[in-house]
Amino acid sequence: TEVGGLDEAAAGRSVLIRGAAQAIRPVSKKMAFVVLRESMSTVQCVLVASADAGVSTQMVRFATSLSKESIVDVEGVVSLPKEPLKATTQQVEIQVRKIYCINRAIPTLPINLEDASRSEAEIEKAEQAGEKLVRVGQDTRLNYRAIDLRTPANQAIFRIQCQVENKFREYFLSKNFVGIHSPKLIAGSSEGGAAVFKLQYNGQPACLAQSPQLYKQMAICGGFERVFEVGPVFRAENSNTHRHLCEFVGLDAEMEIKEHYFEVCDIIDGLFVAIFKHLNENCKKELETINRQYPFEPLKYLEKTLKLTYEEGIQMLKEAGTEIEPMGDLNTEAEKKLGRLVKEKYGTEFFILYRYPLAVRPFYTMPCYDNPAYSNSFDVFIRGEEIISGAQRIHLPELLTKRATECGIDASTISSYIESFSYGAPPHGGFGVGLERVVMLFCALNNIRKTSLFPRDPQRLLL
């Protein structure tokens, strides 16, 4: 039986459950409570010594001697509690008949699960009441991630992440995209900009791919009209921020464009509205569980995603007192502020900003036909932070060589990529999303390390 499925309807049933002993509360020689946890759910198990039920005082003593987080099997009967239960997710109890310890945890764990599962508000309330408890810091959590991951909020976060990835695949398959896998060991950097991890490849200098960019475009040259990839992306940037990782999961797409690069924006619109809907409708328990530890407002989004030009964006910022260099990029502060302004004016926290100045985009970005100082490119934001970059690409080899050179890239180092466009290449465009950022921002979490199972940041490699 699964702990999460135990409800009032199960009252009177005999069950066998396995879980971790999250809390052990002796009451007397004849009575004890053991709270068992299985993923996001907890249930209270009641031991009462009684000859009728075949429960001895030794069994009660054995239960109270268990160490927290030991793995335990319990046989018992589901019953309704006399008063509503506050400390468990399930509103039923188990009257224990038999209890077995499958594997003991060491007596003193580096992280106390109950401390690690509390919200900031609960911690403050407990402190005001004079209770002594431990605030479990981010580093401690990551140093002992195998325990930290057991908190209900973490269980929920990675279930949400899995759903986002799954919906991404499902949506692309429904739109006739072909899933691909591009190499991660490559000879040169993929696109300039972010720093790369260098390594030796059979005596040759090589690096880890900083994106599937060049290969997903070459797949389009290879005759696949629409492709997508889910895979690791490596960035050696020394960015100690709340939103940068050195390795993250990239969700990438590339597609032929028939008439206009807004066809790519339409895919993003359909994809994300489908993801948000799916999470809100089918992941209620996960979202509530995250909310209990990290309270957040549901994401505001429109059925048809708002698109604003970059110029409109900087005009909005200007009117609100923030001057942006018109042909420069938005810094993190300006992006956040624009996010707030758009939310006030249009009632959405998810929008596309398009037509960026060409100078702030990568070399492969198509300049605007009407004004080459701008580009057919866009970024997408959730709650004022970037989750997607995308664009129409240059499919003309001469222009590609010219733009690479202007951006300081030696075109001879990417000659096979550039040549791919001389064999007949259709107009195309695409985008890249960071999976961890989508989950972090959908749930308004304050740090990307919370949405990475074993995060790689500039300081963290060993665990």
| Whether 291 contacts 277, CB under 8 Å | no
Give min distance, CB of 131 to ligand ATP, in A: 37
Q: Count of CB atoms within 10 A of residue 24's CB?
A: 18
| Residues within window 398-437 making contact with ligand AMO, judged by CB under 6 A | 430-434, 436-437
Structure tokens at 461: 């490699």
Strands 385-392 and 93-103: unpaired
Which residues are CB-contacts of 321 (< 8 A; sequence separation ≥ 6)?
none
- Contact between 390 and ligand AMO (CB under 6 A)? yes
Token pair in block for residue 392: 């129409």
Residue from 65, 241, 282, 422 binding ligand ATP (CB under 6 A): 241
Q: Does 335 bind ligand AMO (CB under 6 A)?
A: no
- Applying CB under 6 A, among 65, 166, 332, 446 the residue interacting with ligand ATP is 332
Options 148, 191, 269, 349; binder of ligand AMO; rule CB under 6 A: 191
Q: Which string of x and - marks every residue 147-186 that binds ligand ATP (by CB under 6 A)?
A: ----------------------------------------
Active site residues: 235, 237, 243-244, 386, 389, 437
- The SS3 of residue 351 is strand
Position 331 contacts ligand ATP (CB under 6 A): yes
Task: Tell me phi and psi for residue 166, to 5 degrees.
Answer: -65, -45
CA distances from 416 to 324, 419, 422 (A): 38, 5, 10
Q: Does 305 bind ligand AMO (CB under 6 A)?
A: no
CB neighbour list of residue 253: distance below 8 Å, 6 or more residues apart: 172, 177, 216, 226, 227, 228, 229, 264, 267, 430, 431, 432
Q: Which is nearer to ligand ATP, 72 or 214 (CB)?
A: 214
282 binds, among ligand AMO, ligand ATP, none (CB under 5 to 8 A by kind): none
> What b/e readout covers 145-172, taking b as 16+ CB neighbours within 10 angstroms?
bebbebbbbbbbbebbbebbbebbeebb
C-beta nearest to ligand AMO: residue: 434
Residues 230-259 that bind ligand AMO (CB under 6 A): 235, 244-245, 248, 250, 252
Which positions lie near ligand ATP, rule CB under 6 A? Answer: 194, 239, 241, 244, 329, 331-332, 386, 389
Which positions lie near ligand AMO, rule CB under 6 A? Answer: 191, 211, 213, 235, 244-245, 248, 250, 252, 386-391, 430-434, 436-437, 448
